[in-house]
Amino acid sequence: MAEKITPRATDYSQWYIDIVTNARLADYAPVKGCMVIRPRGYALWEMIQQGLDGLFKETGHVNAYFPLLIPESFIKKEAEHVEGFSPELAVVTHAGGEKLEEPLVIRPTSETIIWSMYKKWIQSYRDLPLLINQWCNVVRWEKRTRLFLRTSEFLWQEGHTAHATADEAEEETLRILDVYRRFAEDFMAIPVLHGLKSDSEKFAGAVRTYCIEAMMQDARSLQAGTSHNLGQNFAKAFDVTFQTRTKALDHVWATSWGVSTRLIGALIMTHADDKGLVVPPRLAPVEVVIVPIFKNETRDAVTGFAQKLRDALKPGFRVTLDDDDQNTPGWKFSEYELQGIPLRVEIGPRDMEKGQCVAVRRDTGEKIFLPVAEAAVRLRALLDDIQKSLFKRALDFRTSHTFRVTEYEELKKLLDDPGGFIEAGWCGDAACEARVKEETKATIRLIPLDGTRMSTAPEGSTCIICGKSARRLVIFGRAY
């Protein structure tokens, strides 16, 4: 089944598709831009779900579910929202053999259907905050698709919260941004920048959009998660009011935030190499695979020994044993490297005699001989080290591809070679931003935060385009 990956270094996106398909994570379905996620890819998604759900619950959020189909009129209630999403809506016009009175759109995001319900659920400040998340699929009919990064239908998590004050909503927006940052860095070993989107890049209907941005191995940027402060926009559009402690009537304050199956794309494009996937231990559905090496006469002894090791490791590890004798050890080595399993443990007759096994790291390929008696302790330490090393490797790459410039020409030059994140002054004018995009294809990925506030530019900074005084230093980059 698996064929050798033939990376094309000059064509990173093709290399990426090769990794995805060779590692059997996903295929395109016979529906424009729709993805079939195979079990191996879905296992990664389940690990992401598990990790994020844990963090959401720590912060008091609960899961719920809202419908796939949304009356078209709902989408139209918020002016910017409808403008932003209209071009990419898939619409159901017929059902039950009849033309519908009102078309139903397949959710591109659920703000509108959720806020139509929040109107019924919220009357008093006692009902707030309302902290709900849902795991679901959404459809956005994009012009161009790419496996995991931009498919017509994708899986995601979308949180929708309602609060009594503007400050609370802002706090929530930033709290979730920090959850996303921690998840990306601690679980996925993907270093991210966090910050604010410029107005031209913000969510349709939001007051402010915050995001995390990761750098892929070709130095392009990937938006890995967004957290929006919606202000009172949706509360006003859906007339959601509540009685305050002081008996006044006010519209509630809202946030929404999400990450998608794109995270799997980010994982691949951050860590994979020419041998295939590299999955950080904390996210790996299987952390350790044991490969016994035997001849016919030694099969029983070696597999018995390997089974004992597996059983000993089971309580603390996600471990599997591949004692199938249809494939050779060499085949298995390549296969598990392709799958990105962090540690492979080899056990052969020679090891058995010495009471040892051989651990092989996926990230470095290093072989480590260790006594079976110490296996649990040593393997755990190795997994921890792999987790840290992967993060460090990605961080070092990002650091070596991050620059600060003061001249527009420098910005252009660095974008072409070697590419990356480029910090520069910006006056705040959308026209300057647009000009950079038009001339270089780079966009403002984010405006970095200083603590929880936007960072201000050093004294005397000027806009890279117009030369006027720059209020902020922002991060430019070419994005997926």
Contacts with RNA, residue ranges (CB under 7 A)? 1-5, 11, 13-14, 17, 22, 28, 32, 84, 87-88, 140, 142-146, 149-152, 154, 201, 203-204, 211, 223, 226, 260-262, 275-276, 293-296, 299, 325, 328-331, 333-335, 337-338, 346-352, 358, 360, 365, 441, 479
Closest separation in Å from C-beta 172 to RNA: 19
**Closest separation in Å from C-beta 452 to RNA:** 21
122 vs 230 by CB, closer to RNA: 230
Which of 380, 437 has the CB closer to RNA? 437
CA–CA distance, 48 with 208 (Å, rounded to integer):
26
Terminus-to-terminus CA distance in the chain, angstroms?
A: 30
CB closer to RNA out of 392 and 441: 441
Query: What is the DSSP pairing of strand 241-243 with strand 35-37?
Result: unpaired
* Cβ proximity to RNA, 299 vs 388, nearer residue: 299
Taking the C-alpha atoms of residue 114 and residue 102, their distance in angstroms, rounded to an integer, is: 19
- CB-based contacts of 231: which residues, under 8 Å, 6+ apart? 166, 169, 206, 207, 253, 254
Q: Please say whether the beta carbons of 245 and 125 come within 8 A.
A: yes
Going by C-alpha positions, the residue among 256, 241, 24 that lies closest to residue 147 is 24
Nearer to RNA, 203 or 403 (CB): 203
Tell me how far, at minimum, the Cβ of 432 lies from RNA, in Å: 16
**Closer residue to RNA, CB minimum distance, 303 or 461:** 303
Q: State the minimum distance, in angstroms, from the CB of residue 316 to RNA.
A: 23
* CA distances for 230 relative to 110, 162, 203, 261, 413, angstroms: 13, 10, 9, 23, 37
CB of 249 to RNA, least distance (A): 33
Nearer to RNA, 201 or 363 (CB): 201
Q: Is 143 exposed, middle or buried (0-12, 13-18, 19+ CB in 10 A)?
A: exposed
Least separation, in Å, of the C-beta of 398 and RNA?
A: 18
- Cα–Cα distance measured from residue 179 to residue 223, given in angstroms and rounded to the nearest whole number: 15
Compare residues 301 and 377 and give the one whose CB is closer to RNA.
301
Rounded to whole angstroms, the Cα distance separating 1 from 468 reads 59
Q: Which residues contact 311 (CB under 8 A, 6 or more apart)?
A: none
- C-beta of 2 vs 312, nearer to RNA: 2
Query: Residue 122 or 219: which CB sits closer to RNA?
Result: 219
Q: Rounded to the nearest whole angstrom, what is the least distance from the CB of residue 122 to RNA in the complex?
A: 27
Residue with tokens 């519908």: 100
CB of 206 to RNA, least distance (A): 10
From the CB of 141, what's the least distance to RNA, in Å? 9
In the bound state with RNA, the residue whose beta carbon lies nearer, of 165 and 298, is 298
Q: How far is the CB of 406 from RNA (least distance, A)?
A: 25
Beta bridge partners of 192: 214
Q: How far is the CB of 93 from RNA (least distance, A)?
A: 18
